[in-house]
């Protein structure tokens, strides 16, 4: 297992690449979830503002 | 059948919602298959050793970074010519993912370059033009955020996208036009690929996975944008009630 992880001495390069990708995807998914919640809240806010003005 | 019917947001929003799980599943299954072939079956490269396995994410992300930009440029044309709103929203939804793909392509390229070329970075034609692609994505995002009037922001952004599209053929042909460090194309439409079949399979599986992922996140993002922009409509009101945000 540890030999496989070492990737013939290139383990650091390979796993840091795949790690960076995993981090980027995780960050994007968390961001999407927050964005979704925020967009629903903002939509509600702008509806309320509109109702208050009219 | 009128295709423009699907460009109507009240039709597109639930349709995208129904398609989402399929793209999630496709992205996951293709990634597992790609990693299995890439690490379990594909042989060690006789020149590069194991480090070549970075290409399974490097090449798909670099392709996606270019392809997403082309799709955005296509939507930009639709935005400018037909004044379509959904196309402009699609541009905004795709940009962050395109930027992420460009970052991953540059990063994995650098990490591959260190043990293979002996350097993290050179001002090679392909590397430099890909860096410019990243700046175009960031510039587009900054521009549309900076203009308050939505319609004007959309049109200015679309114009920027069209000006920047000249960079895509430069990236694509850079390895042919300039003989600098980055290697030539391994995969081309006109000749047999110059790599082992299992390596190619792994790379293509990861490429399709990147496609599914991109469509998935872009549709999720565009749905959020639609909700905000159409907040005043009755169908969004119904949606807000369904989501429990509004009583």
What is the pLDDT at residue B6?
Answer: 67
Query: CA-to-CA distance for B174 and B128, rounded, in angstroms?
Result: 10
> The tokens of B221 are what?
């993002």
CA distance A9 to B87: 47
Second CATH level (architecture) for the domain B18-237: Up-down Bundle (1.20)
**CB-based contact B57 A35, cutoff 8 Å:** no
Q: Which residues of B touch A38 (CB under 8 A)?
A: 224
Which residue on chain A is closest to B120 by alpha carbon? A13
pLDDT band with cut points at 50, 70 and 90 for residue B3: low
Is residue B195 over pLDDT 80? Answer: no
Which tops the pLDDT comparison, B44 or B130?
B130
| pLDDT of amino acid B2 | 58
Contacts of B104 in chain A (CB under 8 A): 20-21, 24
Tell me whether residues B50 and A10 touch, CB distance under 8 A. Answer: yes
Return the beta strands (E) in B165-211 as ranges.
none
Q: What is the signed CA dihedral for B4, B82, B217, B242, rounded to 10 degrees?
A: -60
- Is the predicted pLDDT of residue A53 greater than 80, yes or no? no
The answer to whether the Cβ–Cβ distance between A10 and B115 falls below 8 Å is yes
> A24 near B103, Cβ under 8 Å?
yes
Of the residues B34, B228, B236, the best mutation for testing chain A's interface (the one with the most A CB atoms within 10 Å of its CB) is B228
Among residues B155, B154, B160, which one has the least CA distance to residue B140?
Answer: B160
- What is the gyration radius of the CA atoms in chain A, in angstroms? 22
Question: Which of B160 and A2 is assigned the larger pLDDT?
Answer: B160
Q: Which of B104, B77, B100 is nearest to B90 (CA)?
A: B77
Alpha-carbon dihedral angle through residues B25, B27, B31, B37, given to the nearest 10 degrees: 80
What is the pLDDT confidence band of residue B175, given thresholds at 50, 70 and 90?
Answer: confident
| B217 touching chain A per CB within 8 A | yes
pLDDT at residue B247, as a whole number:
74
% chain B with pLDDT above 90: 69
3-state secondary structure of B6: helix
- Tokens 């890439």 locate to B38
Res. B95: pLDDT tops 90? yes
Residues of A in contact with B221 (CB under 8 A): 32, 35
Q: pLDDT confidence of B183, banded at 50, 70, 90?
A: confident
Would you call B222 an interface residue with chain A, using a CB distance cutoff of 8 Å?
A: no
Q: Where are the domains of chain B?
A: 18-237
Which residues does residue B45 pair with via DSSP β-bridges, in sequence order?
A: B49
Provide, as residue numbers in chain B, all residues whose Cβ is less than 8 Å from the Cβ of A50: 232
Nearest neighbour of B245 by CB, restricted to A10, A32, A40: A40
pLDDT beyond 70 at A17: yes
Mean pLDDT of B79-103: 95
Asked if B224 and A36 come within 8 Å (Cβ–Cβ), the reply is yes
**Chain A neighbors of B61, CB-CB under 8 A:** 21
ipTM entry: 0.90
Position A52 scores a pLDDT of 79
**pLDDT tens-digit profile of B124-154?**
889 999 999 999 999 999 999 999 999 999 9
Count of CA atoms in the C-beta half-sphere (13 A) of B215: 16
Which of B230, B235, B229, B64 is CA-nearest to residue B153?
B229
Q: Please tell me the least confidently modeled range out of B131-135, B154-158, B179-183.
A: B179-183
Neighbours of B219 (CB within 10 A): 19
Q: How far is CA B153 from CA A41, B120, B140, B219, B221, in A?
A: 23, 37, 10, 21, 18
Closest partner residue to B104 (CB to CB) among A13, A24, A32 is: A24
User: In the structure, what pLDDT confidence band is assigned to residue B57 with cuts at 50, 70 and 90?
Assistant: very high
Taking each helix axis from N to C terminus, what angle separates B197-229 and B9-35, rounded to the nearest 10 degrees?
150
pTM (2 decimals)? 0.91
Q: Is B139 on the interface with A (CB under 8 A)?
A: no
**pLDDT at residue number B189:** 61
B203-236 residue pLDDT tens: 999 999 999 999 999 999 999 999 999 999 999 9
B160 to each of B73, B88, B137, B168, how far by Cα in Å? 9, 12, 10, 14
Give the contacts of B97 (CB within 8 A, at least 6 positions apart): A28, B68, B214, B217, B218, B221
Residues 6+ apart with CB under 8 A from B144: B92, B153, B154, B156, B157
> Are A47 and B44 a contacting pair at CB < 8 A?
no
Average pLDDT, chain B: 91
Q: Inter-chain contact B58–A43, Cβ cutoff 8 Å?
A: no
């Amino acid at each position: 297992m540890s030999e496989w992880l070492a990737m013939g001495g290139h383990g650091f390069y390979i796993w840091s690449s795949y790690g960076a990708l995993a981090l980027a995807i995780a960050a994007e998914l968390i961001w999407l979830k927050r964005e979704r919640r925020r967009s629903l809240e903002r939509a509600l806010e702008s509806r309320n503002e509109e109702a208050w003005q009219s | 059948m009128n295709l423009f019917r699907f460009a109507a947001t009240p039709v597109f929003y639930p349709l995208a919602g129904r398609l989402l799980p399929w793209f999630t599943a496709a992205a996951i299954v293709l990634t597992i298959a790609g990693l299995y072939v890439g690490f379990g079956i594909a042989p060690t490269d006789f020149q590069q050793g194991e480090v070549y396995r970075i290409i399974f994410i490097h090449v798909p992300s670099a392709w996606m970074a270019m392809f997403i930009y082309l799709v955005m440029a296509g939507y930009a044309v639709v935005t400018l010519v037909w004044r379509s709103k959904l196309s402009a929203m699609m541009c905004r939804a795709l940009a962050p993912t395109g930027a992420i793909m460009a970052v991953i392509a540059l990063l994995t390229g650098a990490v591959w370059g260190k043990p293979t070329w002996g350097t993290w970075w050179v001002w090679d034609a392909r590397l430099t033009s890909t860096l410019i692609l990243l700046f175009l994505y960031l510039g587009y995002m900054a521009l549309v955020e900076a203009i308050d009037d939505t319609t004007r922001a959309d049109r200015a952004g679309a114009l920027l996208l069209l000006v920047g599209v000249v960079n895509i053929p430069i990236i694509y042909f850079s390895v042919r036009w300039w003989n600098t460090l980055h290697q030539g194309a391994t995969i081309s439409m006109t000749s047999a690929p110059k790599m082992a079949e299992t390596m190619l399979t792994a790379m293509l599986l990861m490429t399709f996975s990147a496609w599914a992922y991109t469509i998935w996140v872009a549709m999720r993002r565009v749905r959020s944008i639609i909700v905000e922009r159409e907040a005043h409509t009755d169908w969004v009101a119904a949606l807000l009630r369904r989501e429990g945000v509004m009583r």
